[in-house]
Amino acid sequence: MLISEETRKKLAELKDKYPTRQASIMPALHLVFDEFGYLGVEQLDEAADIIGVSRLDMNETASFYTLFPKQKVGKYLIQVCTNLSCALMGADNLVEYLEEKLGIKLGETTPDGIFTLWNVECLGSCGTAPMMQVNDEYYEDLTREKVDELIENWRKGEGS
Amino acid sequence: MADQVTLTIEGREVTVPKGSTILDAATRLGIVIPTFCWDPRLRSIAACRMCLVEVEKSPKLVTACAAPAMDGMVVKVFSDKAVNGRKAVMEFQLVNHPLDCPTCDKGGECELQNHSFSHGPGQKRTSEPRNRVIFDGKYVFDEIPIGPVIWYNSNRCIKCYKCTRLVKEIAGDADLGAFNRGYKTILHRHKNVPFKSEFSGNTVQYCPVGALVADSFRFKERTWMLEQTPSVCHLCGDGCNTALWHQGQKLFRIYARWNNHVEDGLICDRGRFGGLYADDERRLQHPQIRKEGKLVEVSWNEAIRYVADMLENIMDKHGGESIGFIGNEMLSNEEAYLFNRFARQVIGTNNLDFRFEDRHLPSKELNFHLLSIMSDRVPYIDFKKFDNILFVGADSEVRHPVLTLWVKRAIYSGASRTYAAYHRKTDYNLHPAESIEYFPQGEYNFLLCLYKALKGDDIKDITSSAGVRAEDVEKWAEDFKNGKTLIFAGEDVYNNPRGTENIQLIEAIRDLLGQESKVNILFDGANYIGNILCGATPGILPFGVDNIYDNRKALADSWGAEKLSDSEGMNTAEMLNAAAEGKLKALFILGADPVGFYPGRGIAEKAMKKAEFKVVCETFLTETGKSADVVLPLAAFPEYEGTLISTEGRLQSFQKAYETAYTSAEGWRIMLRIMQKLGFEEDYNGPEDIWNEIGDNSEIFSNISHKGVSFRGLLIDMKFDKKRETDISGFEAVEAPKPPPEYPLILTYGTSVYQKRHLTHYAADMEKIEPGARIYMNTKNANSIDIHDNDTVRVSSGKGSLTLKLTTDQRVRPGTVFIPTNFIEAEFNTLLDSKADLTFVKVEKL
Ligand code: SF4
Ligand code: SF4
Ligand code: FES
Ligand code: FES
């Protein structure tokens, strides 16, 4: 059993909360994500058994939402928007700079497990492009200097 | 009218029931709107947009398959806007399509080809490379095996989701799904769950493109080079209508023919892939006669003459009563009827039976009783009219996949609740039935509990004899008091030491539940009812009349025979016993394998050893065949025609696809030639002649011509309406089975969902789906003796022992084990004692 007792309890509460079992899949995905930071097949299967839907349905739904990582990611999940407005404002350069700085390619995680770098589609913050989302926070109007500072801080945070 | 709406499509008015779609309304007018994702059996999801039409006052084009028809609507199917809309959809569908029609097995019957030809722009405007999904470099043509017998090519897939919806919504299985999103979507199985739905093959038939391909048909032949012949599946009693696709004498594939009263276009994998055994080259090729201890090939003439001479000899020496006839429940009506004339008239014996896989065979009284119940049966399409559906003694999902599909529909649509009482948990997948598991052969005690609970009696004292809990039975009894109940009495109810009492109890329960409740009997075997009605059991003469003096006399007169035997006759169990004791001198065995399948291998082997002369007609060399004196190669089902009666009581006919392959012969022809050598003076040109004779002489089949049953089949009116007054007040619970300490487990056995006896074994696909025999044991039971999934174990009873791989299975009742009977090499019946009701075993890890 991978899922903690506490999460299992919350999942069990979802089971008959909605008119259909299917409806409890989304909140269940969030619960599993909150605990693990990603959705692995094994965790999804366990959760499916608890909320009473098929393992298949659970995995299908999870696969639809690309915003949930399916494998373990770094402590800081950096998601750079590369959609139109951001692209016009230099998102590609930003990605390149981040790749260089972190020493990884898009989609990869640093060997120390601190950073993961992804690109995503429009995050609805076009007016402040280019931008990125790191875990639950938005960082906007980005420049190289700002990025340097942010990364520096996070790295420091890890060191201490 | 309030529940009707009237709309105009292409300038023509049409009135349809409220809730119909525009597509339904157009279909009624004969206007064809192209579709991909629509299927009459599935809910519309409007995924493909192929069916776009213009509706006046609606700013956008709408999908005809999903948009409800509304009063006063004006629909245009062929306006420029609509035509261009569909053209655009078509262009989109083809943006990434590989257009590999020349190597695609769907070529020639592909909806994408057809629609693109009739509705497409003929050209695409994008110049980017097509998106190509490559799973890993291992598979050429980008196809990956997603199931043991099915390949998937994501590049061809147009994401109509028909496959996953068929498997999920209809079969209720959770093993094929859509993963990812947008153009990256792929149809795939769950990473850790194999795609093993017993209805998986339907996804291949209904995939509109070549994205799903059956292994057995992949790269084999172009579809337009094949002929189709209408047939009926022989592999269980459900009577699915099939189409045989063949070329010359080669069978390429079996598809559903789509009879919406029977299989509704959805057949199980046993019928679809298992039926391909007909084409296996291991089939018997020549008649063989045992000479100096060895079977040697001879000509048909020599074989027939030899059989006739030997039978004549034995008749002269010991009389006709010393000969026994064993057939099988797949015999067509025509074969069964001839089989009965052969035995009763030409040989002069009542020793004949078509059942050989059970030992506790219903007596003639019980058979009459079953037929009288079936005279008031419920057809498949009406299952949903019942609030409660109760299965007793039926492994329905396994033995009756398609009948169960109708039950699943009733459950999934919310119309019915399902209750299953069996010695093993049967699951109805996504919407599980309530289940009670009693002791093996505990039908009698269970039914008694249910009966008493319904009457309001206290059942606390007797539930332990059935191995069930009083509160469970009481709850069911409460549930059944609400609404109408349909009871299915499965094979284990009547093939049972207390078969007669069981059926009486079921009738009593039905009576308690009221007029509106009904009972259906389940019959495994393609023509169980037909075999009884055509005279293939000892006590019942053709057309369902009692084998008593007057009836015998009338029959003899109509046949022009002097006299028919007055003896009671023996059923298969009695014949095997008599042969083993040397009382029966000869056996004529038609498509039966008692050594391989009779519950009690010892007695069957002994019978084959002791009898002086044994003839076996078979398609493949069976265990029984190996010890016969004469082996005659029997034609397989595509090679002859005839009629069958399904478990629904539906009379249907199957056609001959091609002439007998190899040098085999049809059952009726083999029998007729032997009969004629023995002085039988009539002649038949074929099954149609035999059918006409059946029709001319029987009340049930009169006025039904051979051609008359050809297409959709008909529900026969059996008219066995004798109401049997029975008194069950004295019924008492019997003792629960008590395994001895040295053999603590009760053995149960039965067919596997993918197999029919030894036959499907010769279909290559089945080998892949289910590679070998196993023993199934409850997980808790297994763990308590330190046995785990996939261990090799020895199972032993007082009679013998087997070495098998073990599967732990929650559905097996603790204290019991289950072995599927279909694996001949496993010889499951060596474990069985042909005298005891139940067999006890022990299981040890090796
Ligand atoms: S595999 Fe076939 S049936 Fe399934 S979604 Fe793709 S095109 Fe449709
Ligand atoms: S359900 Fe029975 S009759 Fe239908 S295809 Fe399967 S085996 Fe054949
Ligand atoms: S394009 Fe980047 S936030 Fe909208
Ligand atoms: S058939 Fe109507 S949207 Fe697919």
pLDDT at res. B724: 66
Which of B177, B180, B181 minimises the CB distance to A56?
A: B177
C-alpha torsion sign, points B283, B287, B291, B293: positive
A76-155 maps to which CATH number?
3.40.30.10
pLDDT at res. B430: 63
B756: Cβ–Cβ under 8 A, 6 or more apart, which residues?
B234, B235, B236, B270, B274, B822
Chain A residue with Cα closest to B190: A56
Q: Does A57 touch chain B (CB under 8 A)?
A: yes
Domain with CATH 3.40.30.10 in chain A: 76-155
Interval between CA B159 and ligand 1 midpoint (Å): 5
Say which ligand is closest to the CA of B522.
2
Do B175 and A45 count as a contact with CB atoms less than 8 A apart? no
B836: Cβ–Cβ under 8 A, 6 or more apart, which residues?
none
pLDDT at res. B662: 77
| Nearest by Cα to A62 from B173, B180, B193, B163 | B180
pLDDT for B102-135, tens place per residue?
999 999 999 999 999 999 998 888 888 888 887 7
Say which ligand is closest to the CA of B43.
4
Which atom of ligand 4 is the closest one to the Cα of B38? 1
Ligand 4 contacts CB of residue B23 (under 6 A):
no
pLDDT at res. B432: 73
Nearest CA to ligand 2 atom 5: B271
pLDDT at res. A160: 46
pLDDT for B243-288, tens place per residue?
999 999 999 999 999 999 999 999 999 999 999 999 899 999 999 9
How many angstroms away from the CA of A42 is the closest CA of chain B?
9
Q: Residue B353 above 90 pLDDT? A: yes
A92 vs B771, residue with greater confidence: A92
Do B177 and A57 count as a contact with CB atoms less than 8 A apart? yes
- Name the residue of B197, B198, B235, B257 whose CB sits within 8 Å of the most ligand 2 atoms, as the mutation to test its pocket: B235
Q: How far apart are the first and last CA of chain B?
A: 74
- Which 3 state secondary structure label does DSSP give B138? coil
DSSP B128: S
For chain B, give the mean pLDDT: 93
How many angstroms away from the CA of A33 is the closest CA of chain B?
18
pLDDT band for position B65 (cuts 50, 70, 90): very high
Ligand 2 contacts CB of residue B636 (under 6 A):
no
Question: Where would I find the H helices in B342-469?
Answer: 364-374, 396-399, 401-412, 443-455, 463-466
Q: Residue B703 above 70 pLDDT? A: yes
B366: Cβ–Cβ under 8 A, 6 or more apart, which residues?
B494, B499, B500, B503
Domain with CATH 1.10.10.1590 in chain A: 5-64
pLDDT at res. B1: 59
pLDDT at res. A131: 97
When pLDDT is averaged across residues B674-688 and rounded to a whole number, the result is 95
Chain B residue with Cα closest to A41: B191
Q: What percent of chain A clears pLDDT 90, i.e. is strictly above it?
A: 92
How far apart, in whole angstroms, are the C-alpha atoms of residue B216 and residue B255? 13
Q: Residue B700 above 80 pLDDT? A: yes
pLDDT at res. B722: 65
pLDDT for B422-432, tens place per residue?
999 887 766 77
Determine if the pTM surpasses 0.90: yes
pLDDT for B273-328, tens place per residue?
999 999 899 999 999 999 999 999 999 999 999 999 999 999 999 999 999 999 99
Interval between CA A94 and ligand 3 midpoint (Å): 13
Largest CA distance in chain A: 51
Where are the extended beta strands (E) located within A7-155?
76-81, 115-120, 132-134, 137-139
pLDDT at res. A97: 96
CATH superfamily of A5-64: NADH-quinone oxidoreductase subunit E (1.10.10.1590)
Which of A56, A59, A66 minimises the CB distance to B181?
A: A66
- Which 3 state secondary structure label does DSSP give A6? helix
Q: Residue B66 above 60 pLDDT? A: yes
pLDDT for B135-179, tens place per residue?
776 776 688 999 999 999 999 999 999 999 999 999 988 889 999
The reply to whether ipTM tops 0.90 is no
Which of A45, A55, A63 minimises the CB distance to B179?
A: A63
Interval between CA B52 and ligand 4 midpoint (Å): 8
Which residues in B lie closer than 8 A to residue A25 (C-beta atoms)? Answer: none
pLDDT at res. B62: 97
pLDDT band for position A129 (cuts 50, 70, 90): very high
